[in-house]
Amino acid sequence: MDTFEIKGQRLVALSMLGCLLFNYPFLALFNDPGILFGIPVLYVYIFAAWGLLILLIAMVVEARE
């Protein structure tokens, strides 16, 4: 299998990870009235997970193999 296909499969996996992170039950776990660093926990979670996902996608795409 060549790099191109492997990257494609990794991206599919990341997309599925994203679907998991941004859905029930993960969202429900963080749907909490608490405050973290002065920001509501849910907001911190969504933006952090989003940023991380983009970082992972960028790493997969830009990796030289």
Partner 1 sequence: MLKGWLIVVTSFAYLGLLFAIAYHADRRAEAGRSVIASPYIYSLSLGVYATAWTFYGSVGRAASDGVGFLPIYLGPTLMIALWWIVIRKIIRISRQNRITSLADFIASRYGKSALLGGLVTIIAVVGIIPYISLQLKAVSTSFTILLQYPEIIMPAKLAAVPVLQDTAFWVALILAAFTIVFGTRHLDASEHHQGMVAAIAFESLVKLLAFLAVGIFVTFGIYNGFADVFARAAVEPTLRALMSPLDGVAGSYASWGWLTVLSMLAIMFLPRQFQVAVIENVDEKHLNKAIWLFPLYMLAINIFVLPIAFGGMLRFPGGSVDADTFVLTLPMAEKHELLALLVFIGGLSAATGMVIVETIALSTMVCNDLVMPVLLRLRRLRLTEREDLTGLLLTIRRSAIWSVLLLGYMYFRLAGEAYALVSIGLISFAAVAQFAPVVLGGIFWRGGTRSGALAGLSLGFLVWFYTLLLPAFARSGWLPIGWLEHGPFGYELLRPLALFGLAGLDQITHAMLWSMIANAGAYVAVSLWASPSAEEHRQASLFVDVFKRAGEAGGARFWRGTAAAPDLHGLLSRFLGESGADAIFRDYARARGLRWPDDNLVADAGFVHYVETKLAGAIGASSSRIMVASVVKEEALTIDEVRQIVDEASQVVAYSHQLEQKSIELEAATAELRAANLRLQELDRLKDDFVSTVSHELRTPLTSIRSFSEILREDPDVDLEQRKKFLDIITKETERLTRLINQILDLSKLESGTTEWRETSLDLKEVIESTITATSQLFKDKDVRLQAELPGQLPRLVGDLDRITQVIFNLLSNAVKFCEAGKGEVVVSLAREGNFLRVDVTDNGPGISLQDQTIIFDKFRQAGESPSSKQRGTGLGLHISGRIVEHLGGRIWVRSRPGAGATFSFTLPLVRKGAHARAA
Residue with Cβ nearer partner 1 (62 or 65): 62
Beta bridge partners of 36: 39
Instruction: Give the integer Cα–Cα distance in Å for 23 and 20.
Output: 6
Per-residue contact flags (x/-) with partner 1 for residues 8 to 47, judged by CB under 8 A? x--xx-xx--xx--xxx--xx--xxx-x-xxxxxxx--xx
Q: Phi and psi of 40, rounded to 5°?
A: -55, 140
Say which DSSP state 33 is in: S
List of residues contacting partner 1 (CB under 8 A): 7-8, 11-12, 14-15, 18-19, 22-24, 27-28, 31-33, 35, 37-43, 46-47, 50-51, 53-54, 57-58, 61-62
